[in-house]
Amino acid sequence: MSVTLTDAAARHVTRYMTKRGKGVGVRLGVKTTGCSGLAYKLEYADEIAPEDVVFEDNGVKVLVDPKSMAYIDGTQLDFVREGLNEGFKFINPNERDRCGCGESFRV
């Protein structure tokens, strides 16, 4: 079981947490929503919950709730710039389909 970050994602998270002045890492999970059924949720975490599965990659902790692990195991989190837009990109080997708007996915 693993969740990893690219160098670009780790740099972005580290820079933002420094700017915030607090945080232990990022919390990654899934929620039920959208056309295809599931959507990623990503937020900065200020504490580690007892039930969290914790991964550390490139000096950044990624916290995952156990219920989400089945859907995101093996996912790599990247931070990309495409034209004027920038944001996190989820490279998930479990994804079977993604909706046309790009907001949700199915495993």
pLDDT at 95: 78
What is the reported pLDDT for 39? Answer: 86
**Which CATH architecture fits 2-95?**
Sandwich (2.60)
Q: pTM (2 decimals)?
A: 0.84
Residue with tokens 């495409």: 82
Residue 23 neighbours by CB distance under 10 Å: 19
d(CA 68, CA 93): 14
pLDDT of residue 13: 95
Question: What are the residue boundaries of the structural domains of the chain, listed by start?
Answer: 2-95
pLDDT score of 82: 87
pLDDT at position 19: 94
Token pair 């780790």: residue: 10
Report the percentage of the chain scoring pLDDT > 70.
Answer: 88
pLDDT in tens, 27-72: 999 988 766 588 889 999 999 999 999 999 999 999 999 999 988 9
Distance, in Å, from the CA atom of 105 to the CA atom of 32, rounded to the nearest integer, reads: 10
